[in-house]
Amino acid sequence: LSIDDKLEDILPRIIENFYSRVPVFDSDGESFAGILFTKDLNKLKNLPSEKFSLKSVLRPFLSIPQTKKIKELLQEFKKRKRHIAAVLDEYGSICGLVTLEDILEELVGEIDSEMRLEENPLVKIDDNSFRLLATYPVDEFNTHFQTQISEEEYDTVGGFVFGLFGRIPRSGEAIAHENLKFRVEKMKGARILNLHLTVISKITNNDQKKVVEKT
């Protein structure tokens, strides 16, 4: 992202990628302005577009030399309570990013993140209820439930549900689309992890309107 980006340009990228933390570049595109915790966008969602300023919610960015030892970096992450850092080469230019998960994978082997749960991506609870991972592919969902969700616009069911809300949802919130009712079971930052799906067998025209619920 760029420090000059508008909210309407930022949200589609977040919906597509499900990132909870995003590095933001200065206007020159060569240096980092800070890091965006996507949940912080909720503070700005009701502001008029002319008053929107990404800079107002950015958090300081940690920069490290590429020669830094992994174990030293892990200690620095813990001390500063950070999860991501910019890596600088010998000339002070940014050559990449490193995350806490990168470090742990290197030290103890690849770990399972909540986006890679070791479980079936779609579990049937009863005839009309299912539990699924947000990463469940839209094309497989369409085949299984005989739906017509756009496979060009969305890759995952989580991305589709995020798009229905048009904002970062909270755990327990639900939204309906046609004869499908999605309830967010679990979030991680701005990322949907698990969903509960209820399939309503018969619907009316009024039921086809999107409805947001809170529990």
* In the chain, % of residues over pLDDT 70: 81
Considering the chain, tell me which residue range(s) the CATH 3.10.580.10 domain(s) occupy: 7-108
Pick from 54, 47, 69, 50: nearest CA to 1: 54
- Select 7-108's CATH number: 3.30.390.10, 3.40.50.2300, 3.40.50.10860, 3.10.580.10: 3.10.580.10
pTM of the entire predicted model: 0.44
> How many CB atoms are closer than 10 A to CB 174?
19
Residue 181's H or E segment, with its range, is strand 180-188
Please report the pLDDT score of residue 197 as a whole number: 96
β partners of residue 162:
none
Please report the pLDDT score of residue 209 as a whole number: 44
Mean pLDDT per 10-residue section of the chain, whose length is 215 residues:
79 68 77 79 71 79 86 87 83 80 69 51 88 92 92 90 89 93 89 91 50 48
Please report the pLDDT score of residue 182 as a whole number: 96
Q: Distances in Å between the alpha carbon of 148 and those of 12, 132, 204, 208?
A: 21, 18, 18, 14
Q: Read off the tokens for 130.
A: 């299912």
Single-letter residue type at 128: N
At the topology level of CATH, where does 122-213 sit? 3.30.465
Considering the chain, tell me which residue range(s) the CATH 3.30.465.10 domain(s) occupy: 122-213
Q: For 59, list phi and psi in degrees, rounded to 5.
A: -110, 155
Q: Read off the tokens for 119.
A: 């479980």
